[in-house]
């Protein structure tokens, strides 16, 4: 997969309709389509860039209220891994938490953060149980974590809620947040 398309709708029913329209418009793979908090629906598709763009355009033309749309080319493998499961990270790492207003914006910001820094994407949470928001955790050397956090802040702009960088987190706090090597 070279490109990830994200569409977030304000309505679950409209989201199902949009997902159907997207799949019929272009040759793409439906990675995931699911409800998220606040009665929204998040659609994730993958494929070749032009096909993903065509599919996302079908969503924009559907006549339903969209929260956000993204077409992310050359998606980071770390983002794909974090969407499925959280990786194990070293215990002597700095970490940051980036909190976002929407699920789709958080995925896009996480991709920007890992591409522009040497930080590891240690966790990515999208929408469920947190009122449709998202957050992600970066771990690694302090300078890399800071660079990734700045990239995320720049990418998010109005979709940013808050960020924190912890240079030397307590092990118990870090272990409660992410999977840490013993």
For residue range 142-153, list pLDDT tens digits in order: 999 999 999 999
Rounded Cα distance, 59 and 27, in Å? 14
Specify the residue for token string 């983002």.
Answer: 79
Q: In what order do the strands lie in the sheet containing 40-47? A: 29-36, 40-47, 3-9, 66-73
Q: Is pLDDT above 90 for 128?
A: no
Tell which wins on pLDDT, 86 or 50. Answer: 50
Specify the residue for token string 């398309």.
Answer: 5
| Burial of 85 from C-beta contacts in 10 A (0-12 / 13-18 / 19+) | exposed
For residue 51, what are its two tokens? 């096909």
Rounded Cα distance, 145 and 132, in Å? 25
Predicted pLDDT of residue 83: 78
* Residues near 75 by beta carbon (within 8 Å), at least 6 away in sequence: 1, 2, 3, 4, 46, 111
How large is the angle between the packed helices 49-60 and 12-25, nearest 10 degrees? 140
Q: 130 with 99: CB under 8 angstroms?
A: no
For residue 113, what are its two tokens? 């953060």
Q: What is the DSSP code (8-state) at residue 129?
A: T
Q: 152 with 120: CB under 8 angstroms?
A: no
Specify the CATH superfamily of domain 3-73: BMC (bacterial microcompartment) domain (3.30.70.1710)
Predicted pLDDT of residue 98: 97
Mean pLDDT of 21-38: 92
Q: What is the pTM of this model?
A: 0.86
Query: pLDDT-derived band of residue 103, with 50, 70 and 90 as boundaries?
Result: very high
Query: pLDDT-derived band of residue 1, with 50, 70 and 90 as boundaries?
Result: low
Q: Where are the domains of the chain?
A: 3-73, 77-177
Min mean pLDDT across 13-22, 38-47, 172-181 is at 172-181
Q: Is pLDDT above 60 for 71?
A: yes
Backbone torsions φ then ψ of 170, nearest 5 degrees: -60, 140
Percentage with pLDDT > 90 across the chain: 71
Torsion sign across C-alpha atoms 53, 59, 60, 65: negative
Mean pLDDT of the chain: 91
CATH of 77-177, one of 3.40.80.10, 2.60.120.920, 3.30.70.1710, 3.40.50.880: 3.30.70.1710
């Amino acid at each position: 997969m070279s490109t990830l398309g994200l569409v977030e709708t304000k309505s679950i029913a409209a989201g199902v309709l949009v997902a159907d329209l997207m799949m019929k418009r272009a040759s793409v793979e439906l990675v995931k389509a699911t409800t998220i908090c606040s009665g929204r629906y998040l659609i994730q598709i993958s494929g070749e860039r032009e096909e993903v763009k065509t599919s996302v355009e079908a969503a924009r033309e559907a006549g339903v209220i969209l929260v956000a749309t993204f077409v992310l080319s050359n998606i980071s493998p770390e983002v794909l891994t974090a969407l499925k499961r959280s990786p194990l990270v070293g215990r002597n790492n700095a970490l940051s938490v980036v909190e976002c207003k929407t699920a789709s914006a958080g995925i896009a910001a996480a991709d920007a953060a890992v591409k522009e820094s040497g930080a590891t994407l240690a966790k990515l949470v999208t929408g469920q149980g947190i009122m449709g928001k998202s957050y992600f955790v970066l771990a690694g050397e302090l300078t890399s974590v800071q660079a990734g956090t700045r990239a995320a802040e720049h990418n998010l702009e109005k979709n940013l809620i808050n960020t924190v960088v912890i240079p030397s987190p307590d092990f118990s706090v870090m272990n409660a947040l992410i999977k840490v090597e013993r």
